Amino acid sequence: TVVVNGEVRVVSCGDDRTVRVWAIEGGDALQVLRVHTYGVKGVTTFVVHDDARVVSCGDDGTICIWDPRAGSDALVVPEGHSGAVNGVA
């Protein structure tokens, strides 16, 4: 889960190459984040200086760091893995 503008959201990832931010009430997908080029294998959230972040990883060997308030552009896409990244914590 992540808090965006005072609202608790659920974050998911999947083989469709997306990370989705969902409203708990109503179940609507509020954001669909598309940067990964293969399936997304893991997602986690954290807070830095009261700002929420979402981190995703995938079969394309990338880790993406997102600001869920800003939309669909990844803040950082670190490089270094030569194969799939199967989890983040």
pLDDT tens for the 89 residues of the chain, in order? 888 888 899 999 999 999 999 999 888 999 999 989 999 999 999 998 888 899 999 999 999 998 888 776 777 777 788 899 999 99
Does the model's pTM come out above 0.85?
A: yes
- Cα four-point dihedral sign 6, 75, 37, 71: positive
In the sheet with 40-48, reading across from the earlier edge strand, the strands are 40-48, 51-58, 63-66, 74-76
Residues paired with 66 in a beta bridge: 54, 74
Task: List Cβ neighbours of 62 (8 Å cut-off, separation of 6 or more).
Answer: 35, 36, 37, 77, 78, 79, 81, 85
